[in-house]
């Protein structure tokens, strides 16, 4: 599980960039919205 120490910060930075996008932009792109939810679930699990 040593890879999590590298992957987890990566997920956090990706999630930060996704969440920092305008809300309307996120709602238009459902694929990005789904990816955001997936990343948040991954972060809550780890």
How does pLDDT run across 15-36, given as a tens digit for each residue? Answer: 777 777 666 565 667 777 788 7
Rounded Cα distance, 5 and 13, in Å: 13
Q: What confidence score (pLDDT) does residue 45 get? A: 74
The pTM score is: 0.35
pLDDT in tens, 4-17: 677 778 788 877 77
Rounded Cα distance, 22 and 44, in Å: 23
Above 80 in pLDDT, residue 42?
A: yes
Kindly state the DSSP code that residue 21 receives in the 8-state scheme: S
Above 70 in pLDDT, residue 2?
A: no
Tally of domains within the chain: 1
Beta strand ranges found along 1-46 (DSSP E) = none
Q: What confidence score (pLDDT) does residue 26 get? A: 58
- Encoded tokens for 27: 């709602």
Q: Cα–Cα distances in Å, from 11 out to 28, 31, 44, 45?
A: 22, 17, 11, 12
Domain limits for position 32? 3-45
């Amino acid at each position: 599980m040593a890879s999590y120490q590298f992957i987890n910060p990566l997920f956090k930075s990706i999630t930060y960039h996704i969440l920092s996008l305008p809300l309307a932009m996120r709602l238009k792109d459902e694929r990005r919205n789904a990816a955001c939810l997936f990343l948040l679930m991954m972060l809550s699990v780890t």
